[in-house]
């Protein structure tokens, strides 16, 4: 009986871990995006990571675990994105939900040559982000700190890349949409836009 219950639980876990995320290829308008919940966590070196410090950057926030097969598929893509786009104000932030924390995560980071900041998650953080019950779950956060896309389960690499590039390549996204940004910065970017694109 116990074996049957364990098998059923394992099947459910595998299904939730690998469920694909539907993607439309179109990001919601900035006015329809919700602010990403702020958090402060410690990374693998013990340094504080504040999501608020990443405002002005496009962020890929990935919730994952070392035992999750689809997570392992995505991680090399995230390593590549971090290397390729970090000089364009882009960052990947990883949050592991391994029960034993750094005991599993530090060796995994070394083995997979992870080049982005990693933290350990908690139930509180999961609830802040809507109750994460499937891994991987990832959020693409725009320069204003708002969630532009959410993906639950394994997602095609091209979907991630297309969304990241849309946010990086949009000059308007570099401006404060409330009009409170630095005046010289706004003027400088406005000159780069065609007249019909200018704020």
pLDDT of residue 78: 98
pTM across the whole model: 0.77
- Domain ranges, ordered by start, for the chain: 35-171
For residue range 41-93, list pLDDT tens digits in order: 999 999 999 999 999 999 999 999 999 999 999 999 999 999 999 999 999 99
Residues 6+ apart with CB under 8 A from 190: 198, 199
pLDDT of residue 177: 46
Query: Does 192 score more than 90 pLDDT?
Result: no
Sheet holding 137-141, edge to edge: 34-35, 146-152, 137-141, 58-64, 90-96, 117-120
What is the CATH topology of the domain spanning 35-171?
Glutaredoxin (3.40.30)
For residue range 130-186, list pLDDT tens digits in order: 999 899 999 999 999 999 999 999 999 999 999 999 999 986 655 444 444 444 444
């Amino acid at each position: 009986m116990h074996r049957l219950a364990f098998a059923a639980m394992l099947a459910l876990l595998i299904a939730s871990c690998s469920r694909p995320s539907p993607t439309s290829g179109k990001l919601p308008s900035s006015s329809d995006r919700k602010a990403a919940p702020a958090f402060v966590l410690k990374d693998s070196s013990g340094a504080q990571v504040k999501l608020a410090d990443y405002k002005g950057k496009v962020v890929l926030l990935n919730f994952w675990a070392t035992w999750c097969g689809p997570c392992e598929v995505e991680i090399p893509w995230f390593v590549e994105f971090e290397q390729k786009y970090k000089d364009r104000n882009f960052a990947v932030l990883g949050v592991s939900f391994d029960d034993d924390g750094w005991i599993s995560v530090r060796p995994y980071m070394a083995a997979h040559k992870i080049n982005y900041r990693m933290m350990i998650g908690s139930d509180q953080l999961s609830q802040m982000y809507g109750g994460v019950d499937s891994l991987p779950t990832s959020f693409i956060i725009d320069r204003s700190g708002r969630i532009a896309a959410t993906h639950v389960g394994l997602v095609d690499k091209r979907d991630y890349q297309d969304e990241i590039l849309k946010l990086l390549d949009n000059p308007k996204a570099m401006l404060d949409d409330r009009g409170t940004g630095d005046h010289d910065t706004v003027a400088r970017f406005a000159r780069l836009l065609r007249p019909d694109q200018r704020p």
